[in-house]
Structure 1
Amino acid sequence: MGHDRIKGNLDLLLLSVLSAGPAHGYNIIAALKARSEGEFDLAEGTVYPALHGLEAAGLVESVWQTVEGRRRRVYRLSDAGVRELADQRVQWRRFSSAIDGVLGSPA
């Protein structure tokens, strides 16, 4: 899938992954890849700046934890992030439905 398409929807994807529970960056990247059946194999350089932006916007919170003997930043949705995810899901479904309507079924 084109990087531009993912970039425009990365916040929604990250919020959705974090709705399953707190996770550190590597687990978030792995979940995106697994849940998309390999379509979203994103680099750390793409995901971490987006997570930092979500944190700056108050949608994600993070803490340092020791996981498997390594110190890692663990991210979780804030209350505002939960609300934003719900709103973005509604918007995405409306947009997706409109795209499907335009594309229709193959002739």
Structure 2
Amino acid sequence: MTVQISSKLLDGSVLGLLSVKDYYGYALTQEVQKYIAVSESTMYPVLRRLKSNGLVTTYDEPYQGRNRRYYRITNLGLNHLKSISLEWSQFKNSVDTMLRGDIHE
């Protein structure tokens, strides 16, 4: 089944991964793609938006003569992740209830 993922949920997914460790752009895209079908061209605008909203910061590290731009979650990003996680949990529980037919009239 293919499900369209909202930008808020995609933001939360990226922030969730960054809450564990810093990633450079390509590696982060690869990690997200393990769980969600998303293109590289989708990921970089997400990262720019997260940075412009103060949810992540960046730093560069040299690698084989070039720089890799790493992304790090901020405290604001951690708080936003908690908010998204709570919303997702409530939504998921509601959908699970309906899928089980566990509704009360």
TM-score above 0.5: yes
- Equivalent position of 1:9 in the other structure: 9
Structure 2: 5+ residue stretches without partners:
none
Aligned length: 100
Structure 1: 5+ residue stretches without partners:
none
- Equivalent position of 2:56 in the other structure: 60
Give the alignment partner of residue 43 of structure 2, picking from 47, 50, 61.
47
* RMSD of aligned Cα (Å): 1.7
Provide the C-alpha distance between the structure 1 equivalents of 2:53 and 2:88, rounded to a whole number of angstroms: 20
* Amino acid in the other structure paired with 2:22: P
Give the structure with higher Rg (CA).
2
TM-score (norm 2): 0.84
Contact 1:29 1:41 in 2 (8 A): no
Contact 2:8 2:84 in 1 (8 A): no
TM-score (norm 1): 0.83
Provide the C-alpha distance between the structure 2 equivalents of 1:91 and 1:67, rounded to a whole number of angstroms: 38
Provide the C-alpha distance between the structure 2 equivalents of 1:31 and 1:58, rounded to a whole number of angstroms: 22
Q: Deviations over 1:66-97 (max 9, x none)?
A: 13443111001011001111111111111100
1:8 deviates by 4.9
Provide the C-alpha distance between the structure 1 equivalents of 2:44 and 2:50, rounded to a whole number of angstroms: 10
Aligned-pair identity (%) = 28
